[in-house]
Amino acid sequence: MAFPAHRPRRLRRTAALRALVRETTLDATHLIAPLFVKESIDDRVAIASMPGQYQHTLDTVRKEAAEIRSTGVRAFMLFAIPARKDAEGSEAWNPEGIGQRALGALADEFGDDAVVMADLCLDEYTDHGHCGVLDDHGEVDNDATLERYERIAVAQAGAGAHVVGPSGMMDGQVAAIRGALDAAGRTDVAIMAYAAKFASAFYGPFRDAAEGAPRFGDRTGYQQDPANGDEAMREIRADVDEGADFVMVKPATPCLDIVRRAADLGAAPVAAYHVSGEYAMLEAAAANGWIDRRRAVLEVLTSIRRAGAGMILTYHARDAAGWLGER
CB of 77 to ligand PBG, least distance (A): 9
CB of 9 to ligand PBG, least distance (A): 39
Residue 173 or 276: the one with the smaller Cβ distance to ligand PBG is 276
Residue 123 or 242: the one with the smaller Cβ distance to ligand PBG is 123
Query: Residue with the closest Cβ to ligand PBG?
Result: 206
CB of 119 to ligand PBG, least distance (A): 6
Residue 202 or 323: the one with the smaller Cβ distance to ligand PBG is 202
Task: Give the binding site for ligand PBG (CB under 6 A).
Answer: 119, 121, 123, 131, 167, 203, 206-207, 219, 275-276
Residue 10 or 45: the one with the smaller Cβ distance to ligand PBG is 45
SS (H, E, C) the chain: CCCCCCCHHHHHCCHHHHHHHCCCCCCHHHEEEEEEEECCCCCCEECCCCCCCEEECHHHHHHHHHHHHHCCCCEEEEEEECCCCECCCHHHHCCCCHHHHHHHHHHHHHCCCCEEEEEECCCCCECCCCCCCECCCCCECHHHHHHHHHHHHHHHHHHCCCEEEECCCCCCHHHHHHHHHHHCCCCCCEEEEEEEEECCHHHHHHHHHCCCCCCCCCCCCCCECCCCHHHHHHHHHHHHHHCCCEEEEECCHHHHHHHHHHHHHCCCCEEEEECHHHHHHHHHHHHCCCCCHHHHHHHHHHHHHHHCCCEEEECCHHHHHHHHHHC
CB of 196 to ligand PBG, least distance (A): 13
Residue 217 or 325: the one with the smaller Cβ distance to ligand PBG is 217
63 catalytic? Reply is: no
Catalytic residue among 38, 63, 85, 197: 197
How far apart (Å, rounded) are the C-alpha atoms in residues 175 and 181?
10
CB of 252 to ligand PBG, least distance (A): 10
Q: How far is CA 173 from the centre of its chain?
A: 17
CB of 130 to ligand PBG, least distance (A): 10
The β-bridge partners of 248 are: 194, 271
Residue 131 or 157: the one with the smaller Cβ distance to ligand PBG is 131
Q: Which residues are designated catalytic?
A: 197, 250
